[in-house]
Amino acid sequence: MLNKEKEQRQGGGGGGGGGGGERKSFIKGYAIKADVRHYFETVDQAILFTLIQKRIKDEPLLHLIKQILTNFDARIPGKGMPLGNLTSQFFANIYLNELDQFVKHQLKVNYYLRYVDDFVIIHRDKTQLEKYKLEINTFLLEKLKITLHPEKSKIIPLSRGIPLLGFRVFYYHKQLRKGAVRRITARLNEWKVLSDLGLMEQEKALERLLGWMAYAVQGNTYYLRKKIMAKFSNDFPTKDQEDN
């Protein structure tokens, strides 16, 4: 824990990043950072149900799953699944497990990571990544009837960092993206207004802030977290602070 905090102090300034700039020129290679276009809205329900049937044999359960899918108010008949439903992440992973198997066993990619419909592939050769991207898009279109997002699926140098789950991930450190910093600042201001109106208790605001802190600590954000906590303490003084 101490080592982690030490690393974050060394790398964490401003928006949660900093450090490592003098070393980034030594990081060679590229990454595909991609996601599926309108994923939850365009999943083919028939294909999804066929994939589920390969893993689940219980007929009453299959009947329930079919009801969940067909009762979904889809924009396109036969497409999509209920976003926010407890089954959605499960269904999403079953569907894109086909992509995982294709990437690992057909393309034989060594460095591959996927989170729901976001995925990253790392390789030294940019040309090879361009081939992977084309083959993946063809596979998704032919086998799963979905496509990569044309604007959000790019090949980027590793020296620029990989945007992933609200962070920009570098070889030596992780920066919290500027948008995430703006959002927590806006939320603090919103909670302050709600508190002044008597619509939010300090304990509730602190609970939400600690949830954000648990997320932010995954990056090099030591000084940013200190700054955010100082603002919170100023906006939500304790009784002892008010007495002083």
DSSP assignment letter at 74: -
Mean pLDDT of 126-146: 97
DSSP string, 174-191: EEEPHHHHHHHHHHHHHH
Q: Write the pLDDT tens digit of every residue in 47-65.
A: 999 999 998 999 999 999 9
Mean pLDDT of 200-221: 94
Mean pLDDT of 96-117: 96
How far apart are the C-alpha atoms of 90 and 116, rounded to whole Å? 9
More confident residue, 163 or 70: 163
Average pLDDT across the chain, whole number: 86
Q: Write the pLDDT tens digit of every residue in 182-209.
A: 999 999 999 999 999 999 999 999 999 9
Q: Residue written as tokens 């049937």?
A: 53
How far apart are the C-alpha atoms of 238 and 202, rounded to whole Å? 9
The confidence score (pLDDT) of residue 7 equals 44
pLDDT for 25 beyond 90: no
pLDDT for 85 beyond 80: no
The confidence score (pLDDT) of residue 86 equals 81
Q: Residue written as tokens 């070889």?
A: 171
